Structure 1
Amino acid sequence: MSISSRFAVGVHILTLIEFNKDGVSSSEYLAESVNTNPALIRKIIGMLKKADLVDVHPGIAGTKLARDLSDITLLDVYKAVNVVQDNKLFSMHENPNPKCPVGRNIQEAIMPIFSTAQRALEKVLGNVTLEDIVADIVEKEQIN
């Protein structure tokens, strides 16, 4: 199991919108950079819009960031594009066999670990802004 690629694509979209802030960021333009189809981009943009991370202006204006770069964290993007149950990264399987020693105890054994991992992920993502990502890409481009 891996985290959905929607998260990476969401970060890519937002970063590219910033790099192209004086241009038109249409779904076709964004899809070309992500190397995917515009329908997927529109779906993810819809999720980002619902989270108030982008403003969508159909036609010539394209998509713009709804907030400053420093006000958008990777946690914001993660939450916007990942449809997770009760906002949890990990979910438990239901109804393990209570007659089995593992089935009887597995949830209680691993839920604290899942909770710790969730908090760690949220802390890391919450401490990185889109501004940090843009700065890193600008630096990498200067080296190349």
Structure 2
Amino acid sequence: MKYSTKYSDAIHILAYIHLFKGSDLSSDRIAQSVETNPAYVRRIMSDLRVSGLLASQRGKPNPTLTREPKDISLLDIYASVEKEHQLLHVDKKTNPNCMIGGNIQNVLETTYASLQQKIEAEMAAISLQSIIEGIQQSANNESE
């Protein structure tokens, strides 16, 4: 099963821009940190710009966060880059003639909707600042 890393990459990009402001913030440089290609970084940055989390000018490698990291929630970032906002997905191709296959979809959709609400509430409570602080603490622990 293929899964998307756009969300974690978007958090990575925003943290990089904040922590390395004033340095080379080109998509090439950021892509080196994410270990991906610059076009992918530009696509994510475009989504972050459209949602109002990032400001940048074409041709100038100086993107900036539009709000302080403490004012950007993980839910803000998730909503910016993941167009399909559901975290969990029900398999729609089950046997309707089977007791389980014919009934599991409705049960799981209700369960998944409840989980989605709880996860989004948690994501809204966690700021980009807390992620940045975790990165800095982890880096400091490694250097000791």
What secondary structure is seen at the aligned counterpart in 1 of 2:56? strand
Cα deviation, residue 113, structure 1: 1.8
Q: TM-score, normalised by structure 1?
A: 0.87
- Answer yes or no: is 1:73 the counterpart of 2:73: yes
* Higher relative helix content: 1
What secondary structure is seen at the aligned counterpart in 2 of 1:56? strand
Alpha-carbon spacing, 1:115–1:3, altered in 2? closer, same or farther (3 Å): farther
One-letter amino acid matched to 2:80? A
Cα deviation, residue 29, structure 1: 1.1
- Answer yes or no: is 1:31 the counterpart of 2:31: yes
CA contact (8 A) 1:9 1:34 kept: yes
Cα deviation, residue 95, structure 1: 6.7
Q: Distance in 2 between matches of 1:4 and 1:11?
A: 13
Deviation string, structure 1 residues 60-87 (Cα, Å, up to 9, x no partner) = 3421111111111111111111120xx3
- Aligned-residue Cα RMSD (Å) equals 1.9
Q: TM-score, normalised by structure 2?
A: 0.87
Query: Any unmatched runs of 5+ in structure 1?
Result: none
Aligned length, in residue pairs = 142
Instruction: Name the counterpart of 1:142.
Output: 140
Query: Any unmatched runs of 5+ in structure 2?
Result: none
Instruction: Name the counterpart of 2:101.
Output: 103
Q: Distance in 2 between matches of 1:83 and 1:14?
A: 18
Instruction: Name the counterpart of 1:16.
Output: 16
Cα deviation, residue 142, structure 1: 2.1
